[in-house]
Amino acid sequence: MNPAPGGDEALAVAFAAHERWAFSEAYRQNASVLYSAAYNVLGNADDAKDCVAEAIARLWRAPRPYSPGRGSLRNFLIVCVRNEAISRRRHHARRTRMELRLAGMASAHEPFEPGDPIERDRVRSAMLALPPEQRTAIALAFYGGKTHSEISAELREPLGTIKSRIKLGLRKLAAALELPKTEEGAR
Amino acid sequence: MTHEQIADIAELYALGMLDESERAAVDEHLLGCSTCAQRLAKAEGDVALIASMEPQRTAPRELQARVDRALQNRRQPWMPAMAIAAAVAIAFLPSLYLWSRTDALHRAMLAQTDAAQRLAGAPHRMARFRTMPGMPPAELAYAPDGSWYLVLVHDASKRLSVAWMHDGTKTMLGDVVPSGHLASLYLPKSHPMDRIALMDGDRIVAEVTLSWGKTSRDRQADRSA
C-alpha cells in the first residue's frame, strides 16, 4: 500500500491513474457511505455487499473510469455504487415481473422494499417543501429506481415534463440539504 | 451527443435513470469535454449529498477484503494489449507499408514477366473486347486450352474489374489497374471460360465471348506437329 501523501486530491489523481492502492484506499475512506447507498436501494446486506464489490471492480476494469475534472471522487463513487444498485434492482424487478406474469399474478406496482429515507427528518422536510409534482418525480427517480421513460408512462406525462421536474426537484432538494463544509466532511 | 443534450440529462445521468446506450453516449462525450464533466459533477454532487443523508450503516469488515481481492484479480487487461498494439503500430507500420508496396511491385513484375514469356513462347489466341462507347480498347490473350489469360486494356484511365460470366452469375477474377499506356491482368492458372467482362463498378463496360472449338490455324498446327 502507498497511502496518498497529499490527501483527497492526491488520492483522486492516483485513482484516475488506475493505481491499485488508490482504489483500495478510496473504498476504505468511503466504505460506510458506499455500503449504505447500496443498502438503501437494495434493502439487504448480501445484495449491498455484492453491489459495492462489483461497482469497484467494474471501475477497476474500465479503461478511463474517472478524471479529477469530473469532481469529487467521493461523490463519483457514491453515484457509481447507486447506479450499480439501481441496475440490479431493475434487473430483479424485471425478473419478478416475469415470474408474476408466469404465475398469472401480474401486478401494476412493484413493492418498494428499502427503508423509506423520507423518515429522515431533514430529507423529509426538504422533500415536503418541493411542489407535489416535483416531489413525486424525485421520489420515483431517487427511491424508486425508475427510468425517465418509466416515470413518464406511470405518471402519463410527457418525457420533457418529467425531465424538467426531476432537474428542478433535485436542485431544490440539494440546495435545501446543503451542509456547512465542516459538517459534511465529518460524515 | 451535444453539450446541450448533456446539460439536459445531467441530473438523469447522476440519478441512474438513463438506459445503457444513453449512459454510454454520455460517457463517451465526457472523455473529451471538461465543461460537461463539470456540469455533471454538480448533478452528481447533489445526488451524493442526498444519498449520504439517508440512513447510514457501517460497512461489514469483510467487504474491504472482498474489494481488495477484486482489485488483485482483475488488473486492467486492456493496458498491455493497447500498449503493445500502439508500439507495433509506431515501430512497424512504416516498414510494413514499404514491404507491402515492394512485395506488390515484385509480384506484379513477376506476373508481367511470366505473361510476356507466355505471349512470346507459348501458343495463344487473341480476342478483342466489345466495348461501350467511350471505353478504351481492350484485348484478351489466352491459352487454347484456357489454362491462362492475359487481359490488356490500352490507355485505361480507371480501375476496371474482370469478371467471368457464367450460368447467370459472375465471378470476380481481379482488377486491371491503370499503369502507363497498357494495363493488364494476368490469370496464370485458370480453366476454359466462355464469357469475360470488364466492369466499372456494377456496370459491364466491355465483354468478350470465347469459342473453344479448334480454329483452322489450330488444325494446321496440329498437322505440322
For the stretch B143-181, pLDDT in tens is: 888 888 888 888 888 889 999 988 888 888 888 887 667
Per residue in A137-149, pLDDT (tens digit) is 888 888 777 788 8
Phi, psi of B167 (to 5 degrees): 50, 40
Angle A20-42/A45-61 helices, nearest 10 degrees?
A: 140
Instruction: Read off the pLDDT band of A26 (50, 70, 90).
Output: very high
Strands lying side by side in the sheet with B203-209 = B130-131, B203-209, B195-200, B160-166, B169-176
Per residue in B66-119, pLDDT (tens digit) is 999 888 865 544 455 555 555 555 555 555 554 554 555 555 556 666 677 667
Spatial distance between the Cα atoms of B156 and B128, rounded to a whole number of angstroms: 15
Inform me whether the pLDDT recorded for B204 exceeds 60: yes
Provide the sign of the torsion angle of the four alpha carbons A9, A15, A17, A21, taken in this order.
positive
Q: Give contacts of B22 with chain A, Cβ < 8 Å.
A: none
Binary contact (B70, A122; C-beta < 8 A): no
Supply the pLDDT for residue A76.
93
Give me the mean pLDDT over the B55-65 stretch.
Answer: 90
**What is the overall mean pLDDT for chain B?**
78
Residue closest to B57 by CA, chosen among A143, A175, A41: A41
Q: Give contacts of A45 with chain B, Cβ < 8 Å.
A: 60
Supply the pLDDT for residue A51.
94
Inform me whether the pLDDT recorded for A132 exceeds 80: yes
Give me the interface pTM, i.e. the ipTM.
0.76
Supply the pLDDT for residue B49.
86
Instruction: Read off the pLDDT band of A93 (50, 70, 90).
Output: low
Is B84 within 8 Å of B54 (Cβ atoms)? Answer: no
Inform me whether the pLDDT recorded for A114 exceeds 50: no
DSSP chain A: ----TTHHHHHHHHHHTT-HHHHHHHHHHHHHHHHHHHHHHH-SHHHHHHHHHHHHHHHHHSSS---GGG--HHHHHHHHHHHHHHHHHHHHHHHHHHHHHHTT---SS----S--GGGSHHHHHHHHHS-HHHHHHHIIIIIT---HHHHHHHHT--HHHHHHHHHHHHHHHHHHH---HHHHHT-
Residues 40-59, chain B: which have Cβ within 8 Å of A?
Answer: 40-59
Inform me whether the pLDDT recorded for A179 exceeds 70: no
Residues 70-89, chain B: which have Cβ within 8 Å of A?
Answer: 70-72, 74-79
Which of the pair, A15 or A121, is modelled with greater confidence? A15
Is B157 within 8 Å of B178 (Cβ atoms)? Answer: yes
Give me the mean pLDDT over the B6-28 stretch.
Answer: 85
Supply the pLDDT for residue A109.
37
Spatial distance between the Cα atoms of B183 and B108, rounded to a whole number of angstroms: 11
